[in-house]
């Protein structure tokens, strides 16, 4: 059983937190949702690239950017997105990026990525640092194309990290967190180190020989931070937000509670309160989530994998979305009808039904031996939309209830 530390908010305000779930985001942004939920933070908003490109960042104090396809994120945000992100940080915003969210602000000469370059640092896990024989060791899953080179990954799951002073948990120097392709950074004067890669555990899955894994990671930087203007960027190679790693979660919680500044200049556009949404609305959610879960479970029995953008997706990721919603459904069904602000409840139900339809179509196509790459790409887009719809209702209800109990 995982024991999570309690996170008491010492701030005189509740930070408004944006979680990026737009183009390029995979499924790990849902881990941030779990973390914030456990922290009792309910002013949570889900932001996509379109919202960043207008003025979505003006409505949040903290932006959380998790894993996925860094190139797709960079491309969708473009020059304007980069400008708005820099402005957000300079004006006191807190950016926390893990994995793809950590690669995004690093210096790069690649198209799209070169629009960011917020931190001048090099990574150790790039193929130009490999010998010719080592380059041939990498299979498709262990690397991502990077121009003529590739970014490579040497392990998955647990890595052992050494935390710098000020970030140690209970006086312990070492902490464990999972690594799923995040960066390993070389020393740089442009940032302050928070944690180094130090070694492995029994749960580490090696994708290459242990020696090469040690050479790539050990002693290099796993977590760092940089001040820009009035704000800060924190970048994490490993997924400190993963729900199975409470100590690592605690580091992110402490950063949010320590560095979060009340800066949001405009309220998040939540629209007018919809008429009360009640049992029949949530029954529809239960019905379709149930349908989707059972098909998704069936897909997990099949040897499937889809390349979407530069990232591989497996059927198990579908259920990460669905389970995140399913385990919160009882809460939404409980109690009286709620009048939360929903822009388009009917549209939400439509998207939900479309998700079930897509899953069933995929299952049929798989059973016939057909490829499902296009359907999978569409499905994951839908999953993100449906998940943010649902979680928006969830956090709005929590916020409403905490206001009422406070009053």
- Minimum Å gap between C-beta 61 and another protein is 37
Q: Does 287 bind another protein (CB under 8 A)?
A: yes
Give the residues across from 232 on adjacent strands: 94, 227
Examine residue 230 and tell whether it contacts another protein (CB under 8 A).
no
How far apart (Å, rounded) are the C-alpha atoms in residues 47 and 63? Answer: 9
The tokens for 222 are 């796993």
| Token pair 């090696």 in the structure block, residue | 206
Q: How many C-beta neighbours within 10 Å does residue 374 have?
A: 12
Based on the shown chain and the rule CB under 8 A, indicate whether residue 38 belongs to the binding site for another protein.
no
Least separation in angstroms between residue 96's CB and another protein is 33
Query: In a 3-state reduction of DSSP, which class is residue 81?
Result: helix
Answer for which of 156, 291, 351, 353 binds another protein (CB under 8 A) is 291
Question: Which of 293/384 has CB closer to another protein?
Answer: 293
Which residue, 194, 183, 186, 201, is CA-closest to 239? 183
Residue whose CB is less far from another protein, 153 or 319: 319
Q: Which is nearer to another protein, 255 or 359 (CB)?
A: 359
Task: Give CA–CA dist 107/118, Å, rounded.
Answer: 7
Q: How far is the CB of 300 from another protein (least distance, A)?
A: 12
Q: What does the block give as tokens for 79?
A: 């020059």
Pick one of 87, 286, 351, 399: the residue that binds another protein (CB under 8 A). Answer: 286
The window from 83-91, 245-253, 342-350, 356-364 that contacts another protein (CB under 8 A) reads 356-364
Q: How far is the CB of 299 from another protein (least distance, A)?
A: 9
- Which C-beta is closer to another protein: that of 38 or that of 286? 286
Closest Cα partner for 391 from 264, 289, 312, 252?
Answer: 289
CA atoms within 13 A on the CB side of 202: 0
CB 386 within 8 A of CB 351: yes
Is the separation of the CB atoms in 223 and 234 below 8 Å? yes
**C-alpha distances out from residue 197 to 17, 64, 85, 128, 143, Å:** 28, 22, 28, 20, 19
Asked if 363 interacts with another protein (CB under 8 A), we say yes
Smallest distance from another protein to CB 364, Å: 7
Q: Binder to another protein among 50, 141, 230, 364 (CB under 8 A)?
A: 364
Total binding residues toward another protein, as defined by CB under 8 A: 15
Tokens of 345: 């409840």
Confirm or reject binding of residue 293 to another protein (CB under 8 A).
yes
Please say which residue, 123 or 355, places its beta carbon nearer to another protein: 355
- Using DSSP, state whether 236 is helix, strand or coil: strand
Query: Minimal CA–CA distance to 34: which of 277, 324, 343?
Result: 324
One residue of 39, 100, 264, 359 binding another protein per CB under 8 A: 359
Candidate residues 215, 351, 360, 399; the one interacting with another protein per rule CB under 8 A: 360
Q: Convert residues 188-227 into a mask of x (bound to another protein by CB under 8 A) and - (unbound).
A: ----------------------------------------
Applying CB under 8 A, among 114, 290, 305, 371 the residue interacting with another protein is: 290
Using the Cα atoms of residue 376, residue 379, residue 385 and residue 391 in order, give the sign of their dihedral.
negative
User: Other CB atoms closer than 10 Å to residue 325's CB: what's the count?
Assistant: 23
Q: Least distance in Å: CB of 46 to another protein?
A: 25
Which residues would be at the binding site for another protein (CB under 8 A)? Answer: 283, 286-287, 289-291, 293-295, 297-298, 359-360, 363-364
């Amino acid at each position: 059983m995982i024991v999570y530390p309690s996170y008491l908010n010492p701030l005189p305000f509740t930070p408004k937190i944006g979680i990026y779930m737009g183009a390029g985001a995979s499924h790990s942004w849902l881990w941030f949702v779990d973390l914030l939920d456990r922290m009792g933070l309910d002013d949570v908003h889900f932001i996509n690239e379109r919202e960043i490109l207008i003025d979505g960042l003006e409505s949040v104090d903290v932006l959380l950017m998790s894993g996925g396809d860094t190139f797709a994120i960079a491309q969708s945000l473009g020059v304007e997105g980069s400008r708005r992100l820099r402005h957000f940080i300079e004006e006191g915003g807190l950016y926390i990026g893990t994995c793809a969210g950590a690669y995004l602000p690093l210096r790069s000469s690649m198209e799209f990525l070169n629009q960011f370059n917020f931190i001048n640092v090099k990574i150790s896990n790039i193929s130009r640092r490999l010998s010719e024989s080592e380059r041939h060791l990498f299979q498709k899953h262990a690397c991502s194309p990077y121009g003529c080179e590739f970014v490579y990954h040497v392990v998955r799951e647990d890595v052992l990290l050494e935390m710098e002073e000020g970030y140690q948990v209970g006086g312990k120097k070492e902490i464990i967190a999972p690594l799923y392709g995040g960066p390993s950074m070389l020393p740089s004067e442009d940032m302050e180190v928070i944690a180094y890669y130090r070694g492995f555990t029994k749960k580490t899955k090696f994708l290459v020989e242990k020696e090469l894994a040690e050479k790539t990671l050990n002693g290099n930087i796993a977590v760092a931070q940089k001040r820009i203007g009035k704000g800060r960027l924190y970048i994490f190679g490993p997924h400190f937000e993963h729900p199975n790693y409470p100590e690592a979660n605690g580091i992110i919680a402490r950063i949010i509670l320590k560095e979060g500044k009340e800066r949001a200049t405009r309220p998040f556009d939540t629209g007018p309160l919809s008429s009360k949404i009640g049992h029949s609305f949530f029954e529809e959610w239960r019905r379709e989530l149930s349908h989707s879960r059972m098909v998704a479970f069936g897909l997990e029995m099949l040897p499937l994998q889809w390349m979407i953008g530069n990232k591989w997706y497996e059927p198990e990721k579908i259920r990460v979305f669905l389970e995140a919603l399913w385990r919160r459904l009882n809460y939404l069904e409980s109690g009286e009808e709620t009048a939360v602000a929903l822009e388009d409840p009917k549209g939400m139900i439509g998207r939900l039904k479309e998700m079930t339809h897509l899953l069933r179509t995929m299952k049929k196509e798989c059973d016939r031996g057909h490829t499902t790459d296009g359907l999978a790409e569409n499905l994951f887009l839908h999953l993100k939309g449906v998940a943010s719809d649902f979680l928006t209702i969830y956090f709005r209800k929590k916020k409403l209830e905490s206001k009422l109990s406070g009053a």
